[in-house]
Structure 1
Amino acid sequence: MTATDTRPVDAARALFADRFGAAPAGTWSAPGRVNLIGEHTDYNDGFVLPFAIQHRTHVALAPRNDGRVRVASTFDDGVVEVGLAELGALFPARRDEIPEWARYPLGVAWALLESAGTDPHTPTGVDLAFASDVPVGAGLSSSAAIEGATAVALAEIWGIDLDRVALAKVGRRAENEAVGAPTGIMDQMASLLGRADAAIFLDCRSLEAQVVDLGLAGAGLELVVIDTGVKHSHATGGYGERRAACERGAAALGVPALRDVAPRDLPRLAELVDDVTLRRVRHVVTENQRVLDTVRTLRDHGPTAIGDLLVASHASMRDDFEISVPELDTAVDAALSAGAVGARMTGGGFGGAAIALVAREKVQEVTDAATAAFDAAGFAAPTIFTVTPSAGAARD
């Protein structure tokens, strides 16, 4: 869902009027996110350091009195309609009957009602229309933005009093069970808890979140996103295989999750599993440590000192977890060659975007270098833009 000529909040309102023939009662929005560091650690009960970005998904909403929910999106020309009381039969067993884009908001409605213990016959029905400027498939969590916007909107309309962590759990359940993507909770937490000029240091086991000041502006730094244009999907491809490898590694060591594995345990694991499983586990274990090191470095020395940790993270994802692609490696290499402080791929992998931490005066140089490197490699031109750490989900 993109809105290029119109603000996405205006596009959501216009879409609502077009599809439903009336004005919405209000609009709500939630941001995408960039993960500064900590990839594939979240579903292993580990640590992550994401931040919300200025790109947001907006939902226009109005209540109905017939217990039905209709969803529309700039993604699709149609309207998907179901009864609230039917959601429990649809998810997860019959989710394939619903178009994938519609499973996100409908899944949130289902998970929210279940989480709150609300009889699905009780709440008023709703019409929902979505528009967004969060790039889709770029690793910036357009899915969590949809979930976060839907969750805060429906919770308000239905009078469901759940805190932001509980709403993040609702979003994760929707993505896991209604959509069928085996993701962790990092994206939803970032989208719901985001703060301006800060990252969220999240313990994915306890769900304890701490705000960590980034201080990018004061250091004269920008975060540049290099969107390769290579699309990925968490519900397909290698994401599930990577998660299964992590579970095998934890089981071999007799621990609940890879959070409980230290680097010193890796030699013992090498005697118990195949080389591929070992490398998958090694990425997660070392990435957890890099997140902790990044938080400490930010607090002690500021953002100019974290470059080597970003570079090491990318190498681990490229070599041990094997989720990079040639376009991502090209983006990272080009940014570093043009003087970036650090760079890495971000998101689930198999496509999407790289991020580069760049001195403000070198942003154009990095942009030109990445563009030239893609052209020389015969790749389609990347989309390059800066992102700003921003606030989380809210009513517009």
Structure 2
Amino acid sequence: MCPPSGNPDTASEALPPTLDARAAADPTTTQDRAHALWTDAFGAWPAAGRTGTAPGALGIQATHAHYTDGFALLLPMHQHLSVAVAPADGDTEVAFANDTAPHASGDPRWHRLTRALAARYTDQPHRIAVASAVPGCCPDAYWAALAMALHEALADAPLTPDGLAAAADCIAEATARPYSTAPLWAAHAAARPFTLVDTATNEYLPVPTPLRDRMMWVLVDLHTGPPLAASAERARQETAQRALQRIRDGGFPQVRTYRDIDYRALDEVLNCVTEAQRPLVQYLVTENHRVQKQVAALRRDDGQMVGALLLMQHASRRDRWQAAPPAANALVAAVEDLTLDGIYGASLIDRGGAVLLVGRQHAFAELRSRLGRALSGPFRIFYP
């Protein structure tokens, strides 16, 4: 189950003329849309009505955290999701809106997820309107923003680690996919410009860097959908747990999660698991380690290393995790083949099939004209 996404549109948003033109979206925009949708769907706005808003949290290097506790690096987005809620006499009712495309609000899957999340925070039925500017190609970011906006609007108690874990379990059950607390922590904290999360200890901290404003961060929605089916994701989660038990039994009893494995001991660890499990174990250990390298590169203001690490991440998802659609591989290959100075790297991120590109603005002005030639299908551009 993926969030509502934009219609295929090759004539997508143009590159801004200057970096300053990428000003952060005003969250009151989605709040106003949620209010308008509520009144259209349910009538006059009552005095007891409340609103909640949260940013999407884009997983720069975070997909692995759905399968093992550990480190994740996320980017709180300029795009927000807002909910307008008010008590109801009967059952909870839900209405949806989306900034990127018309959405069939009668989709019962979205209603079930929203009702389930709302029930985590209140026993009382509500009428809920949801308006979002978070791209549907970023489902992890969308789900986290929805959960945190509902918490702000409905919960009377502060958010706790147990509450976050319960929300993650709720999303996992409704979507039938493993879901980490990392996007939830990042959406809740909105620690800009980047957020480093350790899901093993329920800690997070901001990662200061001038690169968030100095470079272009471009998200390309290829309209491919999730690379893996929900059943395949659950199967990989089970394989990861079986492999972890073999690692413990094979001489590493202190290992609780893949985060605990020293990268220098990876060869020894791989000898503990089956041949079929090795690519998965390599991916989970390597990505946890790569998060720390990416944080160091951001803090050093090293844009070229940030891009190189993204390229490595994509190669790992393609070759070890084996979950990169052909369109994403073609786009990343086009970035690697470009001789333009200033395009630093690209990678498939989140799990909705979107690709993140990073580099200098002057290089993107030329790259934008080449995207249509590099991609055979429709695409849309966002600036997270």
TM-score (norm. length: structure 1): 0.79
Describe the shift of the 1:151–1:112 C-alpha distance in structure 2 as closer, same or farther (beyond 3 A): same
Q: Which residue of 2 aligns with 1:393?
A: none
What does the per-residue CA deviation read over 1:345-374, in whole Å, with 9 as the maximum and x for residues that have no partner? Answer: 1013xx521111110112222222222200
Number of the residue aligned with 1:228: 222
Is residue 200–residue 210 contact of structure 1 (8 Å, CA) maintained in 2? Answer: yes
Partner of 2:210: 215
Task: Tell me the alpha carbon deviations over residues 63-114 of structure 1, each in whole angstroms, 9 at most, x when there is no partner.
Answer: 23x37422222344449xxxxxxxxxxxxxxxxxxx221222212123335x
2:377 corresponds to 1:380: yes
Query: Residue type of the partner of 1:18?
Result: D
Match of 1:23 in 2: 45
Q: For residues 181-218 of structure 1, give each alpha carbon's deviation from its aligned partner in whole angstroms, at most 9, with x where no partner exists.
A: 2211111112111134x111111100110110131255
Residue 41 in 1 paired to residue 50 in 2? no
Q: Separation in 1 of the partners of 2:343 and 2:158? A: 41
Aligned residue for 1:276, secondary structure, equals: coil
Query: Does the aligned pair in 2 maintain the 1:148–1:167 contact within 8 Å?
Result: no
Q: 2:348 aligns with which of 341, 345, 350?
A: 345
- SS for the counterpart of 1:28 is strand
Seen in structure 2, the aligned counterparts of structure 1 residues 259 and 287 have a Cα distance that, compared at 3 Å, is: same
Choose 317-326 or 172-181, whichever is displaced more: 172-181
Q: Secondary structure at the match of 2:211?
A: coil
CA–CA distance in structure 1, aligned partners of residues 211 and 321 of structure 2 = 29
User: What CA distance in whole angstroms lies between the structure 2 residues aligned with 1:345 and 1:49?
Assistant: 14
Alignment partner, residue 91 of structure 1: none
Amino acid at match of 1:381: P
| 1:187 aligned residue | 183
Distance 1:193 1:358, change over 3 A: same
Q: Distance between the aligned counterparts of 2:146 and 2:267, measured in 1?
A: 42
Q: Which residue of 2 aligns with 1:142?
A: 142
Tell me the distance in 2 between the aligned counterparts of 1:3 and 1:131.
Answer: 14
Check conservation: 1:139, 1:353, Cα contact below 8 A.
Answer: no
Letter in 2 for 1:62: A
1:172 aligns with 2:168: yes
Q: Is the 8 A contact 1:32 1:144 kept in 2?
A: yes
Provide TM-score, normalisation by structure 2: 0.81
Q: Secondary structure at the match of 1:316?
A: helix
Once the two structures are overlaid, the 10-residue window that deviates more, 186-195 or 25-34, is 25-34
Distance 2:188 2:126 in 1: 22
Q: CA deviation at 1:164?
A: 6.2
| Cα distance, 1:41 vs structure 2 | 2.9
In 1, Cα distance between the equivalents of 2:178 and 2:62? 17
Within a 5 Å distance, the mapping from 1:150-169 to structure 2 comes to 150-155=150-155, 160-163=156-159, 165=161, 167-169=163-165
Cα pair 1:58 1:132 within 8 Å, conserved: yes
1:360 aligns with 2:361: yes
Q: Would you say how many aligned residue pairs link Structure 1 and Structure 2?
A: 345
Equivalence for 1:307? 307
> Aligned partners of 2:227 and 2:241: how far apart in 1?
21
1:3–1:132: 8 Å Cα contact kept in structure 2? no
1:33 and 1:291 map into 2 onto residues whose CA distance is 16
Displacement, 1:8? 3.7
Query: Secondary structure at 2:64's aligned position in 1?
Result: coil
Distance in 2 between residues matched to 1:11 and 1:301, nearest whole Å:
37
Name which of structure 1's ranges 246-255 and 160-169 shifts more when overlaid on structure 2. Answer: 160-169
CA contact 2:303–2:359 (8 Å) conserved in 1: no
RMSD, matched Cα = 2.6
Give the 3-state SS of the residue equivalent to 2:382 in structure 1.
Answer: strand
> Quick one: distance in 2 between partners of 1:234 and 1:316?
15
Matches within 5 A, 1:64-143: 64=88, 66=89, 68-74=91-97, 75-78=103-106, 99-113=108-122, 120=123, 124-139=124-139, 141-143=141-143
Q: Deviations over 1:46-69 (max 9, x none)?
A: 1011011112222111123x3742
Aligned with 1:341: secondary structure? strand
Counterpart residue number, 2:16: none
Q: CA deviation at 1:248?
A: 1.9
Question: Contact between 2:221 and 2:380, CA under 8 Å: does it hold in 1?
Answer: yes
Deviations 1:146-182 (A, max 9, x none): 1121121111xxxx22236555334212212344322
Helix, strand or coil: the match of 1:146? helix
Structure 1 distance, partners of 2:179, 2:304, is: 31
**1:267 matched residue in structure 2:** 267
Q: Matched residues in 1 for 2:333 and 2:85: separation? A: 44
Contact 1:43 1:185 in 2 (8 A): no
Question: Do 2:51 and 2:152's aligned partners in 1 also have CA atoms closer than 8 Å?
Answer: no
Residue 316 of structure 1 aligns with an amino acid whose one-letter code is: S
Q: Is the 8 A contact 1:31 1:56 kept in 2?
A: yes
**Is the counterpart of residue 243 in structure 1 residue 237 in structure 2?**
yes
**Which residue of structure 2 lines up, in the alignment, with residue 292 of structure 1?**
292
Distance in structure 1 (CA, Å) of the matches to 2:163 and 2:228: 21
